Amino acid sequence: MRQVFNMPDVGEGLTEAEILSWHVAVGDTVTVNQIIVEIETAKAAVELPSPYAGTVAALLVEPGITVEVGSPIIAISDGADEPAGAPAPAEPVAAAVEAAAEPAGAKIGEPGVDGRIANLVGYGPKPGSVTRRPRTPRVGAPSTPSRDSQHTESAAAPAVSTPPAVSTPPANSTPLAIEPSPKLVPLAKPPVRKLARELGIDLSAVTGSGPNGVITRDDVRLGGAPAANGATAAPAPASGGTGGERRVPIKGVRKATASAMVSSAFTAPHVTEFLAVDVTPMIELRDRLRASAAFSGVKLSPLTFAAKAVCLAARRTPEVNASWDDAAQEIVYYDHVQLGIAAATPRGLVVPKIRDADTLSLRELAEALGELTVTARAGKTSPAEMLGGTFTITNVGVFGVDTGTPILNPGESAILALGAVKQAPWVVDGQLAVRTVCQLALSFDHRVVDGEQGSRFLADVGALLADPGLALTY
């Protein structure tokens, strides 16, 4: 009996995910809760465990392909109802359609009518039927049924392949009206479709040379009729040229970040203010704490002190820890700071959260930042860890950048950019001296935060970094 595992909704109502890599192959034996695949959603990379035990019968989606939630991705056989040595299905997609559907009415953690327990959220949707474009036969090649038709007709008697009879209609006969067959969607990945549009090529007139008839870039460049809009195909770039380009599909974290930033930039009226701060006392305090037993084994960075300063300053200016609810026409003020830390990862920008950061001590903030950074760099940040933020810090200083104009995370009213901490000339008591200086930049939603409130908050953060002893007065 083959069980089909559908792409689950890993949380937060996401509709699609990309297969990054399979941890199993066809023929491998898997156990329940064994990690079988890594996927990437618009939020993060997630490892999925197997809900079934048995042998991998088919991997239904190749790495790099984005599929919708509820689509079949792997078939696992328990071998109970299959004869020994039974061959695997010729087409994985057909095997997915043939597989048994999810037990009707089964709830998470409860057995269905067939006794199987649904133990993962989101794998319940039934797979829809999949229509594939048949391969275009080569000229002179014998006509053979497609693998899909072979599979669906396997129960029928074997057909004898005979040449089709050719008949000549009488001279006075009326030609029969032939109903047009439904238009089949050519098999091609999104970058190839985009290239075809740019070159004005009709994909239905292109023969695919890739696996299962998939159309490749070379297929598009080498031939094909002009598209219906009358555009002509542009010549393929000459080999050996000095120019070149590389195209990367916009998907996953990059796609989600772009959408969120565009939405934020054109929804919330941004105001950005800047402040240069002499943080020499903060650096001196950091050095003393590093040498103390209380902070042994903890990484103390300027970001840790900035996080603490933000949490303290937000007490005096609660507007920076609020959000504009346009639907309800309300401003929502939050009791605690859900502090987002922007982190650059190989897959793009993610913003995991430190929950209730305002309730944590300086050491606890340092530990939370350390764990957050390690998890983000490993690409293991879960979607739930990136939701529900109320304020964000982006540490552009780690890249040697002095300052910037950060864009708000959607749903938040303020974001602080922490610039590079470096030595610079500074006037102290009327005398020019070399001090450790840092630039701060605060962007805020002017619907929620007035100029006076934003200025006061930024000044408070700067004052706490310039004189950490002020924290005792908060």
> In 311-362, which ranges are E strands?
322-325, 330-333, 339-345, 348-350, 353-354
What number is the average pLDDT over the span 386-405?
Answer: 95
The rounded distance, in Å, linking the Cα atoms of 125 and 118 is 12
The rounded distance, in Å, linking the Cα atoms of 439 and 285 is 19
Q: Among this protein's residues, is 23 annotated catalytic?
A: no
Q: What is the pLDDT of residues 263-305, one digit of tens each?
A: 888 888 999 999 999 999 999 999 999 999 999 989 999 999 9
For residue 263, being part of any structural domain is answered with yes
Q: State the CB neighbour count (10 A cutoff) for residue 63.
A: 13
pLDDT > 70: percent of the chain: 71
Question: Tell me, what's the pLDDT at 199?
Answer: 75
- Asked whether residue 94 falls in the same domain as residue 211, the answer is no
The rounded distance, in Å, linking the Cα atoms of 103 and 112 is 5
- Asked whether residue 285 falls in the same domain as residue 397, the answer is yes
Q: What is the pLDDT of residues 85-141, one digit of tens each?
A: 444 443 444 444 344 334 444 444 444 544 444 444 333 333 333 334 444 444 444
Closest by CA to 51, choosing from 132, 106, 98, is: 106
Question: Tell me, what's the pLDDT at 466?
Answer: 97
Give the structural domain span for 219.
187-232
- Asked whether residue 200 falls in the same domain as residue 267, the answer is no
What number is the average pLDDT over the span 395-407?
Answer: 95
- Asked whether residue 321 falls in the same domain as residue 461, the answer is yes
End residue of a domain, out of 98, 123, 138? 98
Q: Are 286 and 318 in contact (CB under 8 A)?
A: no
Q: Any alpha helices (H) in 91-167, and if so which ranges?
A: 92-98, 147-152
Question: Tell me, what's the pLDDT at 83?
Answer: 52
| pLDDT band with cut points at 50, 70 and 90 for residue 1 | confident
For residue 363, being part of any structural domain is answered with yes
The rounded distance, in Å, linking the Cα atoms of 391 and 34 is 37
The rounded distance, in Å, linking the Cα atoms of 441 and 452 is 15
- Asked whether residue 211 falls in the same domain as residue 311, the answer is no
For residue 213, being part of any structural domain is answered with yes
Between residues 384 and 414, which one has the greater pLDDT? 414
- Asked whether residue 262 falls in the same domain as residue 228, the answer is no
| pLDDT over 80 (residue 30) | yes
Q: What is the CATH number of the domain that holds 329?
A: 3.30.559.10
The pTM for the full model equals 0.57
End residue of a domain, out of 78, 98, 118? 98
For residue 170, being part of any structural domain is answered with no
Closest by CA to 303, choosing from 381, 344, 388, 362, is: 362
For residue 11, being part of any structural domain is answered with yes
- Asked whether residue 349 falls in the same domain as residue 383, the answer is yes
| pLDDT band with cut points at 50, 70 and 90 for residue 161 | very low
For residue 175, being part of any structural domain is answered with no
Residue 250 tokens, joined: 């916009």
- Asked whether residue 439 falls in the same domain as residue 315, the answer is yes
Which helix (DSSP H) or strand (DSSP E) does residue 435 occupy?
strand 431-445
The structure tokens 């050996």 sit at 240
Question: Tell me, what's the pLDDT at 82?
Answer: 54
Residue 303 tokens, joined: 């970001």
CB-count exposure of residue 200 (10 Å: 0-12, 13-18, 19+): middle
CB-count exposure of residue 41 (10 Å: 0-12, 13-18, 19+): buried
Between residues 155 and 347, which one has the greater pLDDT? 347
Q: What is the pLDDT of residues 303-339, one digit of tens each?
A: 999 999 999 999 999 999 999 998 999 999 999 999 9
User: Running DSSP on this structure, what letter comes out for residue 63?
Assistant: T
The rounded distance, in Å, linking the Cα atoms of 317 and 309 is 12
Question: Tell me, what's the pLDDT at 94?
Answer: 42
Question: Tell me, what's the pLDDT at 347?
Answer: 75
Least confident of 188-197, 284-293, 383-392, 400-409: 188-197
The rounded distance, in Å, linking the Cα atoms of 460 and 105 is 57
- Asked whether residue 213 falls in the same domain as residue 261, the answer is no
The rounded distance, in Å, linking the Cα atoms of 323 and 447 is 9
- Asked whether residue 210 falls in the same domain as residue 299, the answer is no
| pLDDT over 90 (residue 379) | no
For residue 173, being part of any structural domain is answered with no
Question: Tell me, what's the pLDDT at 312?
Answer: 97
| pLDDT over 70 (residue 226) | no
Q: What is the CATH number of the domain that holds 213?
A: 4.10.320.10
Q: What residues contact 341, with CB distance under 8 A and at least 6 apart? A: 303, 307, 351, 352, 353, 354, 369, 372, 373, 392, 393, 395
Q: What is the CATH number of the domain that holds 13?
A: 2.40.50.100
Question: Tell me, what's the pLDDT at 160?
Answer: 40
CB-count exposure of residue 147 (10 Å: 0-12, 13-18, 19+): middle
Question: Tell me, what's the pLDDT at 238?
Answer: 45
Q: What is the pLDDT of residues 418-428, one digit of tens each?
A: 999 999 999 99
Question: Tell me, what's the pLDDT at 184?
Answer: 55
What number is the average pLDDT over the span 12-16?
Answer: 71
Question: Tell me, what's the pLDDT at 192?
Answer: 77
Question: Tell me, what's the pLDDT at 185?
Answer: 58
- Asked whether residue 212 falls in the same domain as residue 278, the answer is no
Alpha carbon separation from 3 to 38, 85, 114, 278 (Å, rounded): 19, 18, 12, 64
Q: pLDDT averaged over the chain?
A: 78
For residue 151, being part of any structural domain is answered with no
Structural domains counted in the chain: 3
- Asked whether residue 226 falls in the same domain as residue 260, the answer is no
HSE, CB side, 13 Å, CA atoms: give it for residue 53: 6
Question: Tell me, what's the pLDDT at 72?
Answer: 94
Closest by CA to 283, choosing from 115, 435, 121, 154, is: 435
Catalytic residue among 23, 270, 336, 446: 446
Q: Are 226 and 200 in contact (CB under 8 A)?
A: yes
Q: What is the pLDDT of residues 177-220, one digit of tens each?
A: 434 444 455 677 767 776 777 777 887 788 888 877 788 878 88
